Amino acid sequence: MDSIKTGEKLLLLWNENETTSDDCTRVSQKLSDTVGSTNFELGSGSGTSKLEASKYDTVVLAKVLKSPLNAVENIVLLADVSRILKSSGRLVVIQPSSDDLESTLVLSGFANISEPVPQAAIADCIEVTCTKPSFEIGSSKKLELKEDAKAVWEAAQKGGVTLEDTIDPDLLIDEEDLKKPDAASLLVCGTTGKRKACKDCSCGLDKVLAAENAGDETPKPQDQPKSSCGSCYLGDAFRCASCPYLGMPAFKPGEKVTLNASMLQDDI
């Protein structure tokens, strides 16, 4: 409160349930001595909605905010405080220390939030000062557009921009984009998931990469064994005695069958 100047229009709001009469007397006396009794007003935190807009240079909240600080009623109160403050007006919050105080003030539209300092008038409390932005609620400012941008907006408002002026999406795609990629170019290692053959490659990726590096024709990836019944992928319960997948886990149709490393270890 040391930053408050003489002659400012000031309002002190306090909570009867939280602030004792002695606390309120000490704070109000100090504020009255600073700004003068004619510029000082005292009220309850629940009566801000009836106050005149843009009237006060400074508003002091003495233990008015309730816990948790991000409660809806606190946000509503701070919105009212912002309304009754003048442009660039100051808000002084006297509260028990809380990590949520700064974020609550920011979300309520206040800026230039100070570091908390101990408050001498009310024990076990800190004081934080912040300001209302330098514009009033509902104010507007004309955009200073460059001539080119201004012409575009004027043309759009007059109906000068039509669907014929937009880009045809079909022109963004050419014949190369529609070509289906070669299956060999999409082949990756089943162990590493990368286009790099592992040490004991058995899927044919090593041959594909060797052919690509040598500039030869890329060999086709190894085909999976064909199922005569069409149910091999469901698991051993659906496989015949001569099934090439017997003993292997179930898999999705067309998926390469791989064994987990833990399945290759003995249970004993």
- Predicted confidence at residue 130, as pLDDT, reads 93
Three-state secondary structure string covering 83-145: HHEEEEEEEEEEECCCCCHHHHHHHCCCECCCCCEECCCCCCCEEEEEECCCCCCCCCCCCCC
Q: Which CATH superfamily is domain 10-131 in?
A: Vaccinia Virus protein VP39 (3.40.50.150)
Q: Select, from the ranges 48-57, 89-98, 176-185, the one with the highest average predicted confidence (pLDDT).
A: 89-98
- Predicted confidence at residue 91, as pLDDT, reads 92
Number of CB atoms found within 10 A of residue 15's CB: 16
- Predicted confidence at residue 266, as pLDDT, reads 61
151 pLDDT band (50/70/90 cuts)? low
- Predicted confidence at residue 47, as pLDDT, reads 67
pLDDT in tens, 209-253: 888 788 766 555 555 556 667 777 788 887 777 677 777 788 777
Q: Where in the chain are the domains?
A: 10-131
Q: Stretch 147-167: mean pLDDT, rounded?
A: 62
Percent of the chain with pLDDT over 70: 69
